[in-house]
Amino acid sequence: ISLAACIQLDACIPNFLIQEFTTLGEGYLKEPFTMRDGYIDLPRGAGLGVELDEEAIAEKIGHSWKSPMLFHEDGSVADW
C-alpha cells in the first residue's frame, strides 16, 4: 500500500528521481506492480490503483517474524 501511495506522489513530481521498495506486491496485491525498462507502471485502478488480495493476506496473519535488532560489541544499538 505504501508503494502505491508513493508511486502516485512520484508521478506528480516533475523532477522525481528514484523510488526505493522491497517488493512489487507479490502475495499481497491481486495484480502486483509491473516493471518495464527499470520503471514501475502506474496503477490504473480507483484510489491508489491497487486491489488487495485479502485471502492471501489472511493467510499471513499471526506470523512470528520480528524485525532483527542489531547491537555493537559494547551493547549499543546498531542501525541496519
Does the residue 68 lie in any domain? no
Please tell me the distance from the alpha carbon of residue 57 to that of residue 37, in angstroms, as a whole number.
29
Render each residue's pLDDT in the chain as its tens digit; 80 residues.
999 999 999 999 999 999 999 889 999 999 999 999 999 999 988 999 999 999 999 988 887 777 888 999 999 999 87
47's grid cell: 484510489
Domain that holds residue 31: 1-62
Residues 6 or more apart in contact with residue 20 via CB below 8 angstroms: none
Question: Residue 64: its pLDDT value, please?
Answer: 74
DSSP 71: E
Query: How many separate domains does the chain show?
Result: 1
Does the residue 78 lie in any domain? no
- Please answer whether residues 25 and 3 qualify as being in contact, where contact means their C-beta atoms are separated by less than 8 angstroms: yes
Does the residue 73 lie in any domain? no
Helix (H/G/I), strand (E/B), else coil: 35: strand
